Structure 1
């Protein structure tokens, strides 16, 4: 969204006296400071006690580490810095004047405000308004439109998780990308061809597909809210046509993911080998992991939202009387609708179970800790709750599900480095995991527990929200 070096240069020009920056940059700097406090190792942030020597301290950031203590210790200072950033934002009025600096500030401020679980998203709306104004001023479509589309997708994923209106319109998407992408059906055909190509070609195809994939996930999220999960849709019976379209789109999105990351011959071309790092192409592989992470979690967010809605509808559906041949036409219609809802719920439940395995795999091959702690924190918590709902309903779990729950538990223990987690969430997961502990295989060596802070994120955490190194591969694929 913006070059991190720009803020660095501005601060250098005023001898790192943040209050001497121009008002808009001053707000942006405070936003960056506040959000960076969620990962800082400084005593001023996390308080007295043990601390990592750096973000590369493997004695702290190790396999199986439980880092929740740091999230608890940093919470008071983090919230104080967030409050100061918000105060300055209101004082300067960054929500009212469109600019790239203000767009980034609003993006970060909305992320900060998400912790409050509010129904409104004032800074999110301001961010989108600024993006529209910026895009309308473009004479030519820039090369980095794919990155802008990805940031819009992050906003859409957040609203989908919270069952809030999707503010990104179809026009917004066209304004950024410059036109309609390939249809999902054509994307599936294109992806299938990757199975016949060499691995290097396959990676390039993934970058080319990212733009259309992000476009369609955003489109499906909007349709999901407007026709199935939204407040207006909830006032009416479930539309069969909408369900068919959304589930078909989710299936096609999964097919695209599978064609790229799954293979019929794992012995000769294992799927996880797609993420193996090579010293001479480290930046590219980090971008591959980032793309895979986004592709997995974006679709997973839609699947879980659909599953939750069907569970809710099933819970409030009044069971119609059993048909004995004397029922009225209305009663028979209610019976058919109830049976149909049960079938749809079972189908989507199966889809969610399969998606959960992909989420666990994405966590084991995530590009860096900031990706999970900041861009997908709520999603990981939501999938943890999904696991617990299923486990509590049956009273036990199978070994395969226990292994998945261990992955999610371990991921949450990393998330706890930055944030306080719902009370008892990890302990409940671990209680089920312990019943099958001896049957759970160890994590692969390239998992998140070995390489949590790979370059270029070791000493530049904010690159998670700025133009990443090597991003030209992603950006050029959208042009």
Structure 2
């Protein structure tokens, strides 16, 4: 994690007494404590009652486990720790003084903030403060942009904010794909290829989130006729993102023959690199799904308005053509959403660890659960394949419930559609026996979910940032 060594050394010098830390590090330490409370199994956090022996306790963390009671039990203490971190940050004034410690605190405070309506910028650093961790900071900005996209709020990350971190614009998506394709064909430094692509990938997804709000889903865009050209261009960009991810990860056995880095024979010797590669695949899979869902929601809303405002006598020819084009776009995006849902299920079945889903994509998974329910309620039933996908999402939500309380009745509504097919015996298995879903907490576990953006530092063969494409 950013500033981890600095914070650890400072705590060591003060005999691990947080109140003796310098003000900025003290705020950062309280943010870390609050965030750690979302995964802790200590009785001081989750209260009295049954608890896991460790994060590797197979009697608790297993396939199909319903961990929602832990999220409910931990909420009071988690809220109290968040409130203390926010109070201390306000007293110290971390928003007013640029530093890397304050930048990390601001991001974590953004994550911890209960009320998502009032959103502040996710960082307060200067260029020289973030240049050494540009990929990680790009990932932080991506998480902020995706969170606001889910809630259809203005994207606070500007293009200049991104350039402040990266220093320059990356290759276009089309040129990035061509460059990666050439690198894959040359078969040189292939394990490094995903890491060289991540910063550019983050940059483009963040840019597309901003374009989605400003041109399609935002308040200004909604006051004007649908910009079909922007939607067509946006869909094309989504297809490029999908092509890049597929190029790198869909055929890992061919791309990484022999002792595959995705399924290495000496797994524990290469565990750090293996999990980071899985994390790259996981983030590349999930990041565009928020954009797809945002576009789908807007087209559904526009179609509903169009159908309700049609004149009784009959629409004019121009209006009818516009309605037909909207229907075509909606069908196209609906098909894309269905395919995306399948990729989400596949990604959930191979998640690198619980923190990846519970802390990075929990709102995204819940939003897609709502999508499943809307589609199922409208149709009145679901196919066996869709029921299997719904079961995967339901089981993922039950795991997310270990850290956070879930909306009331959400899991039960999902399970109702799953149970119908389970009773009929038509439900395919949700998870294979070799799924990492069954082995999310391989010891030793450092819970460092931020490391998903970099190669493990102990692996000298691969520099932490790689080339910037």
**So what's the TM-score if we normalise by structure 2?**
0.91
Q: Secondary structure at the match of 1:71?
A: helix
> How is 1:77-226 mapped onto 2 (pairs within 5 angstroms)?
77-113=77-113, 115-116=114-115, 118-122=116-120, 125=121, 127-128=122-123, 130-131=124-125, 134-135=126-127, 137=128, 142-193=131-182, 196=185, 201-226=189-214
Provide closer, same or farther for how the CA distance between residues 374 and 145 of structure 1 changes in structure 2, counting only shifts above 3 A. same
- Pick from 263, 281, 284 the counterpart of residue 276 of structure 1: 263
**Cα displacement string for residues 199-253 of structure 1 (whole angstroms, at most 9, x for unaligned residues):** x854332222212211111111111110001111111111111111111101111
Deviation at 1:23, TM superposition (A): 1.2
Distance 1:31 1:71 in 2: 19
Structure 1: gaps of 5 or more residues: none
1:415 aligns with 2:400: yes
**Cα displacement string for residues 162-198 of structure 1 (whole angstroms, at most 9, x for unaligned residues):** 1111111112222211212111111222344466465
Q: Secondary structure at the match of 1:77?
A: helix
Deviation at 1:269, TM superposition (A): 9.0
Provide closer, same or farther for how the CA distance between residues 441 and 212 of structure 1 changes in structure 2, counting only shifts above 3 A. same
Residue pair 2:349, 2:435 contacting (<8 A) in 1 also: yes
Distance 1:323 1:251 in 2: 40
Provide closer, same or farther for how the CA distance between residues 56 and 83 of structure 1 changes in structure 2, counting only shifts above 3 A. same
1:339 aligns with 2:324: yes
Matched residue pairs, number?
457
Deviation at 1:5, TM superposition (A): 2.3
1:364 aligns with 2:349: yes
Distance 1:342 1:446 in 2: 42
Distance 1:165 1:404 in 2: 31
Using the TM superposition, name which of 310-319 and 395-404 deviates more: 310-319
Provide closer, same or farther for how the CA distance between residues 235 and 442 of structure 1 changes in structure 2, counting only shifts above 3 A. closer
Residue pair 1:4, 1:466 contacting (<8 A) in 2 also: no
Distance 2:45 2:141 in 1: 30
**Cα displacement string for residues 270-293 of structure 1 (whole angstroms, at most 9, x for unaligned residues):** 9xx773243332111111111111
Residue pair 1:364, 1:407 contacting (<8 A) in 2 also: yes
Using the TM superposition, name which of 377-386 and 20-29 deviates more: 20-29
Aligned-CA RMSD value: 2.5
1:239 aligns with 2:237: no
**So what's the TM-score if we normalise by structure 1?**
0.89
Distance 1:455 1:475 in 2: 26
Deviation at 1:63, TM superposition (A): 1.4
1:311 aligns with 2:322: no
Deviation at 1:335, TM superposition (A): 1.6
Q: Secondary structure at the match of 1:175?
A: helix
